[in-house]
A and B are shown apart, each in its own frame.
Chain A
Amino acid sequence: MAEKIGVYVCHCGTNIGKTVDCKAVADYAKGLPDVVVARDYQYTCSDPGQEMIKKDIRELSLTRVVVASCSPLMHEGTFRRAVGNAGLNPFLFQMANIREQCSWITEDRHLATERAKAIVGAAVMRVAYNEPIEVKKVPVDPNVLIVGGGITGIEAALQLADAGKHVYLVEKEPTIGGYMARFDKTFPTLDCAACILTPKMVFVGQHENIDLLSYSEVIGFQGYVGNFTATVRRKPRYVDEEKCNGCGTCETKCPLSVPSEFECGMGKRKAIYRPFPQAVPSTPVIDREHCLYFTKGVCKVCQKFCPSGAIDFDQKEKVVDLKVGTAILATGFDLFDPSRIKEYGYKRLPNVITSLEFERLTHASGPTGGKILLKNGKAPESVAIVHCVGSRDRNYNEYCSRVCCMYSLKTAHLVHEKTEAKVYEFYIDMRAFGKGYEEFYKRLLEEDVTFIRGRVAEVTDVAQEQSEKGKLVVVAEDTLLGIVRRIPVDMVVLSLGLEPRKDAVQVAHTFSISRSKDGFFLEKHPKLAPVSTAADGVYIAGSCQGPKDIPDSVAQGAAAAANALSLIDRKEVELEPTVALIDEESCSGCKICVGLCPYNAITFDSTKNVAEITVALCKGCGVCVASCPSGAIEQQNFTNRQLLAEVEAICA
């Protein structure tokens, strides 16, 4: 039976109409085989435009529709819905792009019109071979996996749990809280980080809808949107979380002290420890590398004194599988390692410290009880703060780490508040972009901090003059004065940039998501889908996507939770319709496609000796289709017949 094809050529105002003679293209289309109607129209995507198509389908019994207008990315969905509403299968519609691929790229009206005719002709030939496709739906598991228990993961977990959804929050450290738990004050309001964070941590620990899996890591993630299985490795704490009441006796009694990671090595912790007193969960862990029982087979003092019998030296690693429908990655960032910049002298020159070490120095419960002190125990008389360490630098990271200008201002404020020291800030550009940030900068300008505009060239203890003896000399070109400045100070604080986590490659691979050039996780769209990823049902939030401050991280945590909720409450999701299908008869079992599939959608059935595609995982990228030497794989809506018809029409 011959098809009845309707063709609609859109002027798109002057976007197409100015360079393409749309009426001539429509007239040309009328002469093509099986075309029963062809019209040109000002704005085909408008309501009257869509109505016109629907009316033709009903009155002229059209079986196929071609719209020649913009890119399918713009309005393919619009027209498929319109065609579907009029009773045709949406896949019996074909879009011909005569805007981005025609009118916008040439000025010659004659050539543009001829080109438009060729494109429309190809679409008409192709649409005759389009086949109806039924879109499959699968149910969505309402449980959510959240990876990372920093402020971003905490916010996402609480939003979802409060909405009644069950959350598995996986954190690799013994406690949640992330970097924020180590900060003293937060910019620009200077409220204490712990005061606003720890209540949220407690809620997470107590929430009936949150399963907190601390000291654990996700090692596998299989399945498809709405139906994932996460494999989680739970490292042994050697303390039973059920029995432990968090009294802390074990920590007091443990005889062995080692440098505390939480305090950047500046303070001590015991071999059985909680990173900090408000840790959640409050159950301590035994550090196997140092514990006297594990290293020398003696001691067991903690076990002797534990009032609830919670110490269990025989605890083993456990691997658990969790069923979830969606996942939120909030794995955060690593700090730049400043010892890579040798000329700044970190680890070589005492009193060159990092911004995180400064946070611990100034923190009331830190190693100095909140006093800003030099290594010799004296208060500094002068402090230099160095911006952009590892950021905005082609040798290390080209991007701006966004948070350093603001936290450097906070550093300056705290030094000013707590000591008599003279404060110098060396900056490249001052970036105070957020709400209340510029006001905070202004406040610091009035606090008598000396701002020097110039990237620091080096920090040296080689004195050139008497006044520099025994000091750290910060050398920088002052780009406002055009001279080289040498400023002798007692302490240098390096404001470290933010980097992707060292294991971001593996995590991205585990969750089948991509990373951007800088190594951070890649969002689906930088503006319009900032927390979605190329993997449906997997969301990213916070600094794992790029450097972010606390307000932005919290906003993204909540946004990712809302995205997950929207998916869960839809109850079922539509799967990608244009999937690839394998013809078992033609498959030679060579397995080439298995390794190439970027979504791990292809498995090999060794009994039948053929490759199999899990349709729910397929994204319709077409890689397997192109790679199959036997031509055994065909992608729906991109069949050989359809594509060849297009090519034939263009070449004719």
Chain B
Amino acid sequence: MNKAYDKSTRIVCKALDVKISELDDWNCCGASAYMSIDELKSHLLSARNLALAEKEKKDLVVVCPACLTTLNKTNHYMGENPRLKRTIGSALRAANLQYFGTVKVRHLLEVIVNDVGENEIKARVKRSLSGLKVAPYYGCQLTRPFGEIDDKEFPMLLDRLLTWLGVEPVNFPMKAKCCGGMLAMTSEKVGLNLARGLIQNALDNGAEMISTICPLCHMTLEAYQGNVNKLFGTKYNIPILYFTQLIGLAFGFSRKALGINEELIPSQPVLEKYLEVVR
């Protein structure tokens, strides 16, 4: 299903004239388990990506808030801690790389909302999704810890974008709460309970669908929805789509091109009500 995020991201960026190119020879950002086991290794993984991006003199755009946080963390810590900067520097030199700390790391959502903007997006909307009620879900990492791009606790970037697409973002108080994904292996019940809270809150506010900006949140809400139902005796069946898929739909791309047939909880029954011709 993450293939769908990849497909829809590329197609939407092309349509919006956002020039992206895949970072040559990139590696894992260093999130996952590294950060809690060996922080230095995590920083080194991040720094390698940053060094590669600096060579290309471009902003480093990611579609995953965990990558965003991890890369930004390394950037920030290197600026604050000269000793860490030296250690990272010598490790990079061993790989014939260097990093001066100039790369700006950004999430695609913020690039689309702030750089492309309302007018450009509205001008490309070809298909009406009018009336579709979507819960805009940001997850816990996009705006934390510093709240540089939006309010830490109550962000609005995705809400605004959805409005431009003609979609109705529902009031979603839990929009920046943890999805529980990180706990799937260690404390499954606690994690599933967090996911349950989110889904319930989206439904209570009339959402027919949840839109995500993070692959891990996406997987938790979609792939674990059945586990949530099993554990709590609920009957949830709410589809989850990436924000890029919704943009693509509004722009008139085919379902297939956007990967809207690959999800585990089909979105078709909901979309059918609003899109007369979605084939």
Contacts and interface: CB of A to CB of B under 8 A. Distances in A.
A549 interface: no
B153 A462 contact: no
Contacts of B204: 462
Contacts of B147: 395
A191 interface: no
Nearest to B193: A464
Contacts of B201: 462
Interface in B156-191: 173-174
A140 B133 CA distance: 72
A477 interface: no
A460 interface: yes
A342 B153 contact: yes
A342 B154 contact: yes
A438 interface: no
A461 interface: yes
Contact of A464 (B151, B154, B173, B197): B197
Q: Which of B151, B153, B197 has the most CB of A within 10 A?
A: B153
Contacts of B197: 462, 464
A625 B7 CA distance: 67
In this complex, the interface size class of chain A, counting residues with CB under 8 Å from chain B, is under 10
A458 interface: yes
B153 A458 contact: yes
Contacts of A464: 197
Interface of A is mostly: loop
A343 B153 contact: yes
Interface in B122-177: 147, 151-154, 173-174
B173 A462 contact: yes
A546 to B, nearest CB: 27
Contacts of B154: 342-343
Nearest to B147: A395
A461 B173 contact: yes
Contacts of A460: 173
Nearest to A341: B153
A342 B151 contact: yes
B166 to A, nearest CB: 24
Contacts of A461: 173
Interface of B is mostly: loop
B175 to A, nearest CB: 11
Interface in B197-220: 197, 201, 204
A461 B201 CA distance: 10
Nearest to A344: B153
A460 B175 CA distance: 12
A24 to B, nearest CB: 46
B179 to A, nearest CB: 15
Contacts of A458: 153
Nearest to A342: B154
A341 B147 CA distance: 12
B80 to A, nearest CB: 16
A124 B77 CA distance: 53
A342 B204 CA distance: 21
Interface in A440-483: 458, 460-462, 464
Nearest to A461: B173
Interface string A426-440: 000000000000000
B174 A462 contact: yes
A386 to B, nearest CB: 15
B193 to A, nearest CB: 9
Interface in B81-122: none
Nearest to A464: B197
A189 B152 CA distance: 41
Nearest to B146: A395
A343 B174 CA distance: 10
Interface in A324-366: 341-343
B136 to A, nearest CB: 14
Contacts of A342: 151-154
A182 B197 CA distance: 42
A91 B271 CA distance: 90
A395 B147 CA distance: 10
A460 B154 CA distance: 12
A639 to B, nearest CB: 44
A353 to B, nearest CB: 19
Contacts of A462: 173-174, 197, 201, 204
Nearest to B156: A342
A462 B201 CA distance: 7
B207 to A, nearest CB: 13
B138 to A, nearest CB: 12
Contacts of A343: 153-154
A342 B154 CA distance: 6
Contacts of B153: 341-343, 458
A343 B176 CA distance: 10
A460 B176 CA distance: 13
Q: Which of B147, B173, B174 has the most CB of A within 10 A?
A: B173
A524 to B, nearest CB: 36
B169 to A, nearest CB: 14
A466 to B, nearest CB: 13
B234 to A, nearest CB: 14
Contacts of B173: 460-462
Given A342-B152, A395-B147, A462-B201, 12 more contacts: A341-B153, A342-B151, A342-B153, A343-B153, A343-B154, A458-B153, A460-B173, A461-B173, A462-B173, A462-B174, A462-B204, A464-B197
Closest 8 A/B residue pairs (Cβ): A342-B154, A343-B153, A342-B153, A342-B151, A462-B173, A462-B201, A460-B173, A462-B174
17 contacts: A341-B153, A342-B151, A342-B152, A342-B153, A342-B154, A343-B153, A343-B154, A395-B147, A458-B153, A460-B173, A461-B173, A462-B173, A462-B174, A462-B197, A462-B201, A462-B204, A464-B197
